[in-house]
């Protein structure tokens, strides 16, 4: 085979395979290639590209789309396409059903979340009310303790005064 990165290629049975120059040699003027074109000169590494550029644009040879030989192939393709379309439609229906289920589930979760938020707000209000009530009672207790200490001191002073007299 050629040592170049591009190398030479030939078509064998419809496949492009590497062309082994050591086995077959280089094309010489007058040689006929697999595609029916004659080699007009000694083509080296760059000759492959030049050869391809020199070839005329030839329309592909084939059968007309309505040719009877293509009827079976076209029927098979049409059947395969219909199966693919049916499968795609079934998948689409499944996805739409899943989407509807998820939408319903999302709405249910939203309603449940709203309920939790409402309950949380009620608990927060009850907590705030309890905290306010606690602070009020604590202030009243502290005030009563001060009065009690003051009263005890007064009673202690009075008792002390009564003993002294």
More confident site: 20 or 131: 131
C-alpha distances out from residue 91 to 23, 77, 85, Å: 55, 21, 10
- What residue spans define the domains of the chain? 9-54, 69-160
Would residue 13 be called left, alpha or beta, if left means φ above 0 and alpha means ψ between -120 and 50 degrees? left
- Please give the pLDDT value at position 63: 80
Residue 31, token pair as written in the block: 């040689």
Q: What residues contact residue 70 under an 8 Å CB cut-off, 6+ apart?
A: 63
Segment 97-119 mean pLDDT:
98
- Write the CB contacts of 99 (distance below 8 Å, at least 6 apart in sequence): none
Contact 45, 27 (CB under 8 A): no
Q: Are 51 and 34 in contact (CB under 8 A)?
A: no
User: Which backbone phi and psi does 43 adopt, to 5 degrees?
Assistant: -100, 130
Q: pTM of this prediction?
A: 0.41
Tokens read off for 41: 């000169």
Task: Give me the pLDDT at residue 122, please.
Answer: 98
pLDDT single digits (tens) 121-149 = 999 999 999 999 999 999 999 999 999 99
Q: Which of 26-40, 59-73, 83-97, 147-161 has the lowest mean pLDDT?
A: 26-40
Per residue in 22-47, pLDDT tens?
555 555 544 444 444 444 555 455 55
Q: What is the pLDDT at residue 57? A: 60
């Amino acid at each position: 085979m050629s040592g170049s990165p591009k190398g030479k290629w030939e078509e064998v049975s419809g496949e492009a395979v590497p062309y082994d120059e050591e086995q077959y040699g280089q094309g010489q003027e007058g040689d006929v290639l697999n595609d029916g074109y004659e080699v007009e000169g000694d083509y080296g590494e760059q000759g492959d590209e030049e050869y391809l550029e020199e070839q005329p644009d030839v329309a592909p040879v084939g059968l007309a789309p309505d040719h009877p030989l293509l009827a079976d192939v076209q029927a098979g393709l049409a059947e395969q396409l219909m199966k693919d379309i049916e499968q795609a439609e079934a998948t689409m229906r499944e996805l739409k059903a899943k989407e509807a289920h998820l939408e319903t589930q999302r709405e249910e979760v939203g309603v449940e979340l709203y309920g939790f938020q409402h309950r949380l707000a009620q608990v927060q209000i009850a907590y705030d009310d309890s905290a306010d009530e606690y602070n009020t009672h604590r202030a009243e207790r502290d005030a009563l303790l001060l009065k009690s200490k003051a009263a005890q001191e007064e009673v202690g002073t009075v008792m002390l005064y009564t003993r002294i007299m």
